[in-house]
Chain A
Amino acid sequence: MKIKIIAAIVIASSLFTYSCTDLDEELYDRVEDGDFGQTPGEIQALVGGAYSSLRGFGDAISNSYPTCEYVFFLNEVASDEATIPTRGTDWYDGGQYQDAQRHMWNADNRMILSSWRYCYTGIAKINSIIYQIDKSGLSDEAKAPIYAELKSIRAYYYYNLLDMFGNVPIVTNFEDQGLPSNSSRQEVYDFVESELLEALPLLPANKVYSKFTQSVAYSLLARLYLNSEAFVGVPRWVDCIEMCQKVTGYSLTTDYFASFLTENQTSSEIILAIPYDSAAGTVGNYLSSMSCHYLHRLTMSPTGDYQWSGNGICAQPGVYSTFEDVDKRKKAMLQGDQINMATGNVIVMDSGEPLTYTEEIVNFTNAKQNEGVRLHKYEMKAGEKWERDHDWVVIRYAEILMMQAECYVRLGSPGLAEPFIQQITSRAGTEMPAVIDLEFLDKELLREFIFEGKRRTDNIRFGTFFQPWWEKGTSDPTKAIFPIPASVLSTNTNLVQNPGYN
């Protein structure tokens, strides 16, 4: 009997010894937000996150890379400089590229969602970083320049939203989780302007590569004023010139392509770039592989030591011939026979035909594999990784020159535009035009900034966007901005769709 009682005690006590009900989560390989942002190193790591957000991301919902899929693709394909033709079944993908090409996109288009999320994910990250910095023990003096830097990056995202979507909600507070309503395009415009102007004095005055400096803010303001008429109906050419004049310390490189080399961080022309380095784990930078033919690797080295390519985006027919042969910038495109480095012969495609990139694309909805000249602006090197190492150029000094030239022309003083155009054409190896007019500027902007993702905005400003070209007819003025993505609209009932998309 005693023994039984002892057994009972032993068992009962073991019951209670282990009666643990602690359910707090213990973290080992990550950190809760409240536990981070105390040391200077941690603050730096947080601010670094705002910069790294500029590279975008890919997830199950969208591919939000500014460099190709799909932010770049959307802006390029909607413009008159590039196209993603369907080749057999390849690159059909639910018709999203065809729709964009024909300006028949709807709110379900994944490229549109990708662009929206590129901006708002960046904005939300920056809002959360501001919140973290707010909670940190830093003094107000120490916080101020950090806020200025963060808010200018955020303003850059809002500038993109202003350009692409117009009437978007303005969200600045991380803790506010209420469903926001649209702001008008004018309000977004005003917000971008005031945020940049407010941040300006606290931003670094000197040139710091890849950082949001005063020159970057001035350049963004110049862009804002240049497109002011298109955005909100108020031309501000003089303001644009004023901002351009404040951008100092930069010059054109002798070689046009110096800004597009793998090691382009030394270019004197780059005002803002998004840095990439595959060894540092950066992702999304593989545009060349989205453009070249499947067998293009054979042209790169005798062993074909180059990444797989997917045979997608190429120049719209008519673009290649816009360049004179003497124009050094024409090399931004690949045209003609592609040579197999191992054999010295032209590559033979699956179909048995030679791989010769042609300007013409006969059937946009079922193009031949070799049709379309290819994007070749950034350096391509044998042996390079899938994730390319060149930095992605966002603003370069040539744009400051071209903006001023355009403003003077628009203000009726084409003569004042000459010194700017002179710099551009002399580097390109082309002749100065007899008259600098808008028609010339339109074409020159295409030539100078081909495949830099800016063409759609230029097309809209010049009005060509709404005229028929190649595969598209006349576009309604409402096409100047994209619709708010359907999935965003359906989850936030406070939002109103942009005009023309209901």
Chain B
Amino acid sequence: MNSTHINKVHEKRTSKMLVFLMFMLFLSAGVFAQQKKLVSGVVYDTTNFALPGVTVTEVGTTNVTVTDADGKFAFQVTIGSSIEVSYIGYVSQTVVVDANTSTFTLKLQEDTFMLDAVELVSVGYGTMRKSDLTGAISTVNADDLVKGAISSTEQVLQGKVAGLTITRGTGDPSSGSSIRLRGGTSLTASNNPLIVVDGIAGVDINVVQPNDIKSIDVLKDASATAIYGSRGANGVIIITTKGGTKGMSINYNGFTGVGFASNRLDLLSADQWRGYVRDNNITDAIDFGGNTNWQKELEQTAFTQSHTLGINSGNENSGLRTSLSYFDNEGIIKTSGIERLSANISTYQYVLDKALKFDMGLYANIDKWSPLDYRIFERAINLNPTIPVYDANRNFTSVGGTLYENPVEILTNRKVDNKRHRLLGYFKTEAKLFNDFLAVVNTSLEHNAMQGSTYKPSYAVLEGLSERGYAQKTYGEFTNAQIEAYVNYTKTLGKNNFNAMIGYSYLENIYEGFGAQRSGFETDIFGYNNLGAGYNYRLGDVYSYKGKSNLASFFGRANYSYDGKYMLTGTVRRDGSSRFGANNKWGVFPSASAAWTISRENFMESTSNWLSNLKFRVGYGVTGNQDGIGEYKSLSILGVGQDSYYDPVTGTWSLAYSPTQNPNPDLKWESTAQTNIGIDFSLFDRITGSFEWYNKTTKDLLYTYQVPQPPYLVGVMLANVGELSNKGIELSLNANIVKGDKFSWDANLVFAKNKQKIEKLSNQIYETEEIFSGSLHGLSGMSNQFSQIIAEGYAVGTFWGYESLGVDESGEIILGTEQKAIGDVQPDFTIGLGMNFNYGNFDAGFTGYGSFGQEVLNATDMMLYDNNRLPAYNVADDFLTSGITSAPQFSSYWIEDASFFRLQTVTLGYTMPFKKAGTKLRVYVLGENLAVFTKYSGVDPEIDLTGLSNPGIDRFNNYPRPTTISFGLNFTLAN
């Protein structure tokens, strides 16, 4: 055994001093030994896993040591004394040291309720025990992730983390979701948190499949995310995947489901339309003789299947996990859906007596889908219900008119096929040095490629006829190559725990692609496979592009804790990006935080029977967001674009080169300063929870601000100007309501409230009074019109327009005289709720999420409540009884409270008992989106509230969300 452990530290001390002076203090804090009796041992948990960091104390003295990474300890104790072995989350054990025993093998029982205390939480470039955290971090384990037909991985977190809102604006399986943590800090497109998969930052979340996830840590406040510097302002989602475990196990997880539309707009049926025409004596209305529900004609029953097979094996020194999955998620609109094949392999190997560890992994998947032409939804609403889908000759009925093409024809005749490949590979080396140091080098490569193919045949009404056949192929890819190296130093001396990390990272992103399109095809038989067969060629029909950016970073973190009571953390990161302007190449992002576990204080003894954990945390930090800056935005660039000029001498066209943007050498990241105060608590051994309060202010908001012309070259300029604040609170609660032998009942609840305000939009150089957003462009008569304002004192997504004062006798909506703020899309609060019940071998559960107080513009109704539509265009059922006669005009009349609570999943499962340990078979039924509780009058209240173009605007392009029922099976065989 490693009995000379302590002496070795002495021997090595001088050399370490030279290299890491900063650690000296702690090293020299005095390691002393009394010459009594040397005892040594190893501490395991009940599954024979060695436990590092276990405190071993000679009872009644200050003589303390801790176990090393292999769970081993050795120290001198007085013969006849007792040693206590204690570890947070485990029941402490005491053994007596007699003259004969000098080695101990100890097994600690888990203190089940305190389990989360030893849970290791990923904090970026390392892990920490949950009990040692000083920042706001929420962890969701695999069992608690949202289950079901999940085609975009972030959806596993929907409603699971307080303050994290995941919204999928449509029911289209091929669409992703917007992810917002604590409001959104930027006006520009990206407010998405940074995604970290197995230590690799900035990757596409869909590279990981839900079944491969072991746990997800969501870093929320600046003291937690500042370690990711200029990419940390919107939070960080750290995904840890399953890895090889001891022994062998094979797991199959599969389900098959049926989905159907849960709701659609109530429009006039053909009979209602005829009734209307008859009752109103409209003589010139055209009855086409059909009986069509255009919305239904677009729909299909969607079948979904998912199969995942995973194999794990491992021993003392190595582990291997492979998984293969196939997922076919049909959409409830014909032709839509997504099909994915993915594979994942990860392995690790210890060598040299565990001094070195190699880790490698590869994730790969292929997606195939046919993107929809979303214009079908507006057509389906417009078309007269008496128009049959097909005419007498079984051709698509085509009745000319604006936005009046047969949507089934569009859906059928247009062929679009997309493919995407994702690949992420990494190789990681960990070396243990001088006992206390762990050096890590992680190199990774992410490659993501997409190919698109489109063909609109010469008979396709939209763009096919006019182009005489149109074909397009596009290809785009990006590669992120990254190397990260860091050194971790951990030292425990008595009750002092010290940890420090310092590192460097370099990321290179290269994107490139090309595309070609042609029209004028003599035949449609080639589809998109032979572009050369098209005879029409225009400038811009072929193109290619390439760009690159680099991010270089230095970072460090230090933690100190004393006796599990007092914790301090400081981090700093220095980021340099090629995208930043010449005057601002490097940014520094610091943070500091502290925590006090008050429940461990002696004076809290009296309450420990009901208050087993009470911890206060406070943190402050500055983080950045650089996603709003594309490549080359700071430079004075000449581009070709569509700028051709005619040369009258030769009679030919050539390409002109023109400046394309206003250069901005001052361009830099947005910086968010955030203060967070948190409380963690455990009550009655049944309830754990945390409460957070935060206040964050984002400065140097990036936006393409309008600049005066003259003198500027172009009318807008990407610059750092405004200021935006988000303040809020969050509450997370987990409860074991009933924990019996046979029956148990768990519940979890998250609650969050955020208030956003634009503080400033101008500075000395740029003057912006307001920015109009929430475009209504494309709605009849609303070209270039906006419904929202971004202005000082308001939240993003504030509706700006006339207030409706009611409806007069003639059905005219009476409007106020002045435009003003008439609602906003920011929710008052959001909640997530889940419950699980176990009874014997049965289990049941549900999850749901809700958002309350957000106001949305029901532009669908606004356009459908129009007298001019009938008889040619269909209208809403209730329009006829509404008595509204005003022409569509944006006002508060059309703004509705869209509060809702969605019953997201309901499961019922049965686990078959097997005699053989480790063999498990569970069958289950899963219902998704079974109910939505709302007063909103549109099809679905869950409307994407993010972005600037049309947040919170329901404008009849909503792909309805399916209700799905699935049957699943989960089988595990292990030994």
List residues of A whose CB falls within 8 A of some B CB: 3-4, 7-8, 11-12, 14-15, 18-34, 36, 42, 44-46, 48-49, 51-53, 59-62, 86, 88-94, 96, 110, 116-117, 120-121, 123-125, 128-129, 169, 171, 174, 176-180, 208-211, 275, 277-283, 294-295, 297-298, 303-308, 310-311, 348, 350-353, 366, 385-386, 487-488, 490-493, 495
Contact = CB atoms under 8 A, between A and B. Distances in A.
Contacts of B286: 348, 352
B646 A350 contact: no
Summarize A's interface: helix, strand, loop or mixed.
loop
A310 B439 CA distance: 67
A177 B665 CA distance: 14
A252 B863 CA distance: 51
Contacts of A169: 710
B504 A91 contact: no
A279 B645 contact: no
Most buried by B among A26, A30, A177, A297: A30
Interface in B544-583: 544-550, 552, 576-580
Interface residues on B, range: 35 or more
A368 to B, nearest CB: 11
A88 B781 contact: yes
B658 A18 contact: no
Contacts of A42: 657
B485 A15 contact: yes
B537 interface: yes
5 contacts: A4-B434, A22-B550, A90-B781, A281-B540, A303-B465
Contact of B706 (A33, A61, A179, A298): A61
Contacts of B658: 46, 49, 52-53, 125, 128-129
B718 to A, nearest CB: 13
B275 interface: no
Interface in B617-641: 631-632, 634-639
A359 to B, nearest CB: 23
A21 B284 contact: no
Given A88-B887, A89-B781, A305-B466, A48 B645 contact: yes
Most buried by B among A62, A348, A492: A492
Contacts of B642: 281-283
B91 interface: no
A93 B483 CA distance: 53
B21 interface: no
Contact of A493 (B404, B767, B887): B767
B540 A386 contact: no
Contacts of A278: 538
Contacts of B806: none
A88 B886 CA distance: 11
Given A15-B504, A44-B654, A30 B648 contact: no
B706 A23 contact: no
Contacts of A28: 512, 545-548
Contacts of B578: 23-26
Contact of B646 (A11, A30, A275, A352): A275
Contacts of A176: 711
B548 A32 contact: no
B715 interface: yes
A275 B466 CA distance: 23
Given A210-B646, A281-B642, A305-B466, 14 more contacts: A11-B439, A11-B441, A15-B441, A19-B504, A23-B552, A42-B657, A49-B643, A88-B780, A92-B887, A94-B785, A171-B711, A350-B873, A351-B284, A386-B466
Interface string B511-536: 01000000000000000000000001
Interface string B489-518: 000000000000000101000001000000
B635 A32 contact: yes
A280 B539 contact: yes
Contact of A89 (B506, B585, B780): B780
Nearest to B285: A352
A351 B867 CA distance: 12
Most buried by A among B539, B545, B711, B767: B711
Most buried by B among A7, A44, A59, A352: A7
A86 B781 contact: yes
Given A8-B433, A14-B441, A36-B657, A350 B645 contact: no
A298 B638 CA distance: 43
Most buried by A among B550, B716, B872: B550
B433 A117 contact: no
Contacts of A208: 648-649
Interface of B: 283-286, 352, 355-356, 400-402, 404, 429, 431-434, 439, 441, 465-466, 483, 485, 504, 506, 512, 536-540, 544-550, 552, 576-580, 585, 631-632, 634-639, 642-649, 653-660, 706-716, 766-769, 779-785, 863, 866, 868, 871-873, 887-888
Nearest to A295: B400
A352 B578 CA distance: 62
Contacts of B285: 352
A121 B715 contact: yes
Nearest to A178: B711
Contacts of A493: 767
B513 to A, nearest CB: 10
A8 B909 CA distance: 51
Given A125-B658, A169-B710, A93 B785 contact: yes
Contacts of A487: 706
A275 B652 CA distance: 11
Nearest to B651: A265
A271 to B, nearest CB: 13
Contact of A33 (B548, B638, B707): B638
Given A30-B637, A45-B657, A91-B781, A121 B585 contact: no
A93 B781 contact: yes
B638 A89 contact: no
Nearest to B284: A352
A94 B769 CA distance: 20
Contacts of A491: 706-708, 766-768
B400 A298 contact: yes
A117 B709 contact: yes
A273 B283 CA distance: 50
A29 B711 contact: no
Contacts of A18: 483, 485, 504, 506
B653 A280 contact: yes
Contacts of B644: 48, 52, 277, 280-282
Contacts of B283: 352
Nearest to B872: A350
Most buried by B among A19, A49, A492: A49
Most buried by A among B577, B632, B779, B866: B632
A176 to B, nearest CB: 6
Contacts of B645: 48-49, 51-52, 275
Most buried by A among B537, B538, B578, B863: B538
Most buried by B among A8, A34, A303: A8
A8 B577 CA distance: 29
B429 A32 contact: no
B765 to A, nearest CB: 10
Most buried by B among A25, A93, A128: A25
A22 B283 CA distance: 76
Contacts of B577: 23
Contacts of B404: 350
Nearest to B484: A18
Contacts of B707: 491
A33 B648 contact: no
A345 B652 CA distance: 43
B401 A295 contact: yes
A242 B712 CA distance: 38
A376 to B, nearest CB: 20
B466 A7 contact: no
Contacts of B636: 32-34
B648 A209 contact: yes
A281 B538 contact: yes
Contacts of A366: 887
